Amino acid sequence: MTLKYLLEKEFLQIKRNKFMPRMIFILPFVALALFPLVANFEVKDINLVVVDNDHSSFSARMVQKISSSGYFRLNKVSADYQTALYNIEQDDADVILEIAPGFEKNLMNFQPAGVLISTNTVNGMKGGLSSAYLSGIINDFSSEIRAEHLQNNSKLKANAIEIIPRYDYNPHLEYKYTMVPAILMMMLAMLSGFLPALNIVGEKEKGTIEQLNVTPVSKFTLILSKLIPYWVIGFIVLTICFLVAWMFYGMISAGGYLQIYLFAAVFVLAFSGLGLVISNYANTIQQAMFMMFFFVITFIFLSGLYTPVSSMPDWTQALSRISPLRYMIEVLRFIFLKGSNFFDLKWHFAALCGFAVLFNGWAVLSYRKTK
Amino acid sequence: MISCKNISKKYKKVQALNDISFEVKPGEIFGLIGPDGAGKTSLFRILTTLILADEGFASVDGLDVVKDYKLIRERVGYMPGRFSLYQDLSVEENLNFFATVFNTTVEENYELVKDIYQQIEPFKTRKAGKLSGGMKQKLALSCALIHKPTVLFLDEPTTGVDPVSRKEFWGMLKNLQQQGITILVSTPYMDEASLCDRIALIQKGRFLTIDSPQKVADSFQKTLLSVSAENMSKLLTDLRAISEVESCFAFGDSHHITLKDPTSTHKQENWGPQKKNINDIDLTINNLKMMLEAKNHINVVIKKIKPGIEDCFMELSKNNL
């Protein structure tokens, strides 16, 4: 009964607050509309400099093939490697492709034909990927040449293996499809973690908690009154996110939405619980902010949001198990892209429930009306 | 109604309360008088079950503050020193909220808060944060009273409130007292002490004395003189430099001093004939005046005055250093 009045008060305060309701709408909207486009690991428009020491029809054909791939922009043709290197130094070029003299001749005679790829790896990922793209195209070109010659000279064996890649669940390897579910959960974690923490610490700072503490309201009721509003807000945020994903990216979950809400309910509960635990230890909003940042950022990096968990060192892989975000991002990617169902993810669900119980139990125990 | 026995509380290195014992009778206005940092708020927080004492035993309305804290919370009204109602809720919403968390309604106990609440009722839709200082106090008092508490704890309710509102506030407390509510009030203002039935002077976590304001003032044993002159700050240093002056404190527009001279002590006054004593004091006053005028003070005025609570506090606190 008292809970009802406490909740009424919370919602009234949220409504009164000019800033908060807007933030609740704007943050997920902007985050989802912007982040997946920005946080894009696809590398495009790589500036290429070619140093062609062969000047043959084959070398011209290969350069033609590379520039028509769409990934590379043929910026310059340099006379020698030194000038090409200078271009990289001036940041006019990202990759140098040097074709050795006698490239065509060697190819025709089935001798190894030399090609040098030299990449600017200040941005390691971009460098690595552009070099890989370039090698891929050149390999392709080499098989092409071989195939042509096979018709002329049947004694020679063709390339033994032909690889046909097929990308399941995300056929065009669109990076945003991987990112949208992850960013969605990151937003949910931030809002449902930060808001209750800041709310309680705010009441501490204003001194209003003191007035509440001398009332007969039990700490369980009080904590519930702080949890439930952010639970509701979590659902609103999630719904906004789904709408944005659909409107901007045309993404519709492959699995049931109801399942996602079920997982999200537990997830929000876990993160709000973490927020409450922090609010019990922090005395000022500043402290709470920093503690929350620490946990959220640690959880995000351990979650496999940006980099796959399996490529982490063993010990951080083990550590990633303590990040509730890891489970939830996996769940959402699985449901959203793969269409997994609840039973496929029952262990994830159990883990999330564990976090929810742990954090909220801790919150109730560490909350002291009497110090 | 309220009873403390040997209460002590320590925060890391600071001894906030040191062996405090006192009783407050039902229907009494009991004042805790002391400067900032004397331990008043700590004592309030122990009695309102917000913190635990390190040692000692305390009870409110016959209930132990440790064991029966839940019952105490239903029966006491607490008004913390800092305004701690929801500033973003309106006057009406605050009152309703605090009524409901105590499982009651505003209507049920309206009689009790009527006199106070009526004064702020015209502003009931205004947000609490937008009220003036005096109105905030009235709202806070209304909220502390809305569940009809038997004991009211008011922690520095008049700090930062203008003199008119302060007077009004004490008038309200007297009314509440008549309705049978026991009130424990703390204040750093010595002039408010005389409005209490009994007071305790507190300093550095210790009680200096517990008595009615009149008796506390009467307990002052020494002759008290007020001294004023043109240059007050120089006067203070000069007075303190005079060897006959035992103590000297700045009190608003004059300095209050006590003298070491044995002939002017209270005891001698009772023994000897009254007339001789008056002469003695006149003599001392004249001597003092001459001494000060020799130090280039002009318009020196020295009078014998009746001691107030503040003088007693100063005198007693000397022994508590």
Q: Using CA atoms, how far apart are residues B209 and A8, in angstroms rounded to an integer?
A: 47
Buried (b) or exposed (e) across B65-95, using 16+ Cβ within 10 A? Answer: beebbebbbbbbbbbbbbbbbbbbbbbbbbb
Answer yes or no: do A305 and A347 share one domain.
Answer: yes
Smallest Cα distance from B138 to chain A, Å: 15
Sheet holding B301-305, edge to edge: B245-251, B254-259, B224-228, B301-305
Q: Domain ends where: A92, A121, A156?
A: A156
Contact (CB, 8 A) for A330 and A348: yes
Answer yes or no: do A81 and A106 share one domain.
Answer: yes
| CB-based contacts of A19, cutoff 8 Å, min separation 6 | none
Answer yes or no: do A204 and A231 share one domain.
Answer: yes
| CB-based contacts of A252, cutoff 8 Å, min separation 6 | A246
Number of independent structural domains in chain A = 2
Selected residue of A19, A205, A209, A214 to mutate for chain B interface (largest B Cβ count, 10 A): A214
Confidence check on the interface: ipTM exceeds 0.95, yes or no: no
Q: What are phi and psi of A251, to 5 degrees?
A: -90, 125
Query: From its phi and psi, is residue B156 left (phi > 0), alpha (psi between -120 and 50) or beta?
Result: left
CB contact under 8 A, A214 and B78: yes
Buried (b) or exposed (e) across A155-171, using 16+ Cβ within 10 A? Answer: eeeeeeeeeeeeeeeee
Give pLDDT, residue A154: 55
Give pLDDT, residue A274: 93
Buried (b) or exposed (e) across A99-113, using 16+ Cβ within 10 A? Answer: bbebbbebbeeeeeb
Residue recorded with tokens 């307990």: B219
Residue recorded with tokens 């169902």: A341
CB contact under 8 A, A214 and B97: no
H/E segment holding residue A352: helix A346-366
The per-residue pLDDT string of chain B (321 residues; one tens digit each, 9 = 90 and over) reads: 898 899 898 888 888 888 889 999 999 999 998 888 888 889 999 999 888 888 899 999 889 988 888 888 888 999 988 888 999 999 999 999 999 999 888 888 888 888 889 988 899 899 999 988 888 888 999 999 999 999 999 998 888 788 888 888 899 899 999 988 999 999 888 888 888 999 998 888 888 888 888 888 888 777 788 888 888 888 888 888 877 778 888 887 888 888 775 554 444 444 444 444 556 777 778 888 888 888 888 888 888 888 888 888 887 877 766
Burial of A81 (0-12, 13-18, 19+ CB in 10 A): middle
B144: closest chain A residue by CA? A211
Q: Using CA atoms, how far apart are residues A28 and A238, in angstroms rounded to an integer?
A: 8
Which of B78, B88, B103 has the CB atom closest to A2's CB atom? B103
Q: Across-strand partners of B304? A: B225
Q: Using CA atoms, how far apart are residues B49 and B280, in angstroms rounded to an integer?
A: 55
Looking at the domain assignment, is residue A164 inside a domain?
A: no
The per-residue pLDDT for range A13-37, each reduced to its tens digit, is 888 888 888 888 888 888 888 887 7
Looking at the domain assignment, is residue A166 inside a domain?
A: no
B82: closest chain A residue by CA? A207
CB contact under 8 A, A2 and B100: yes
Answer yes or no: do A292 and A349 share one domain.
Answer: yes
Q: Domain ends where: A156, A190, A205?
A: A156
Indicate the angle between helix axes A57-67 and A124-152, nearest 10 degrees. Answer: 130
Contact (CB, 8 A) for A328 and A267: yes
Looking at the domain assignment, is residue A267 inside a domain?
A: yes
Answer yes or no: do A26 and A50 share one domain.
Answer: no
Pairing of strands B151-155, A95-99: unpaired
Contact (CB, 8 A) for B136 and B102: no
Q: Using CA atoms, how far apart are residues B116 and B106, in angstroms rounded to an integer?
A: 13
Instruction: Find the angle CA(A339)-CA(A343)-CA(A344) to the nearest 5 degrees.
Output: 55
Give the DSSP letter string of A51-96.
EESS--HHHHHHHHHHHTTSSEEEEEEESSHHHHHHHHHTTS-SEE
Burial of A342 (0-12, 13-18, 19+ CB in 10 A): middle
Residues of A with CB under 8 A from a CB of B: 1-2, 5-6, 9, 12-13, 16-17, 206-217, 369-371
Distance between start and end Cα atoms, chain A = 27
Amino acid (1-letter code) at residue A211: Q
B140: closest chain A residue by CA? A211
- The candidate with the shortest Cα–Cα distance to A295, out of A275, A270, A316, A315, is A275
- CATH code, domain with A131: 3.40.1710.10
Answer yes or no: do A210 and A313 share one domain.
Answer: yes
Looking at the domain assignment, is residue A99 inside a domain?
A: yes
Looking at the domain assignment, is residue A239 inside a domain?
A: yes
Looking at the domain assignment, is residue A121 inside a domain?
A: yes
Give pLDDT, residue A157: 52
Which of B48, B89, B101 has the CB atom closest to A217's CB atom? B101
Answer yes or no: do A231 and A284 share one domain.
Answer: yes
- The candidate with the shortest Cα–Cα distance to B122, out of B110, B113, B109, B131, is B131
Answer yes or no: do A279 and A315 share one domain.
Answer: yes
Pairing of strands B198-203, B206-211: antiparallel
- The candidate with the shortest Cα–Cα distance to A325, out of A176, A193, A169, A173, is A193
Residues of A in contact with B89 (CB under 8 A): 9, 12-13, 16
Residues of B with CB under 8 A from a CB of A: 48-52, 69-70, 73-74, 76, 78, 80, 82-89, 93, 97-98, 100-103, 143
Answer yes or no: do A149 and A237 share one domain.
Answer: no
Answer yes or no: do A198 and A324 share one domain.
Answer: yes
Q: Using CA atoms, how far apart are residues A223 and A364, in angstroms rounded to an integer?
A: 7
Answer yes or no: do A228 and A308 share one domain.
Answer: yes
pTM of the model: 0.76
Sheet holding B198-203, edge to edge: B76-79, B151-155, B182-187, B29-33, B198-203, B206-211
CB contact under 8 A, A211 and B100: no
Contact (CB, 8 A) for B258 and B224: yes
Looking at the domain assignment, is residue A371 inside a domain?
A: no
H/E segment holding residue A201: helix A175-206
Q: Using CA atoms, how far apart are residues A59 and A98, in angstroms rounded to an integer?
A: 10
Answer yes or no: do A82 and A24 share one domain.
Answer: no
Q: Using CA atoms, how far apart are residues B285 and A213, in angstroms rounded to an integer?
A: 57
H/E segment holding residue A115: strand A115-119
Give pLDDT, residue B154: 92
Spans of chain A, pLDDT less than 70: 41, 150-162, 172-173, 369-371
Looking at the domain assignment, is residue A147 inside a domain?
A: yes
CB contact under 8 A, B49 and A371: no
Q: Domain ends where: A156, A179, A198?
A: A156
Q: What is the residue range of A128's domain?
A: 46-156
Contact (CB, 8 A) for B156 and B186: yes
- State CA A77 to chain mean position distance: 37
Q: Using CA atoms, how far apart are residues B107 and A238, in angstroms rounded to an integer?
A: 42
Instruction: Spell out the SS3 assignment of chain B.
Output: CEEEEEEEEEECCEEEEEEEEEEECCCCEEEEECCCCCCHHHHHHHHCCCCCCCEEEEEECCEECCCCHHHHHHHEEEECCCCCCCCCCEHHHHHHHHHHHCCCCCCCCHHHHHHHHHHHHHHCCCEHHHCCHHHHHHHHHHHHHCCCCCEEEEECCCCCCCHHHHHHHHHHHHHHHHCCCEEEEEECCHHHHHHCCEEEEEECCEEEEEECHHHHHHCCCECEEEEECCCHHHHHHHHHHCCCEEEEEEECCEEEEEECCHHHEHHHHHHCCHHHHHHHHHHHHHHHHHHHHHCCCCCCEEEEECCCHHHHHHHHHHCCC
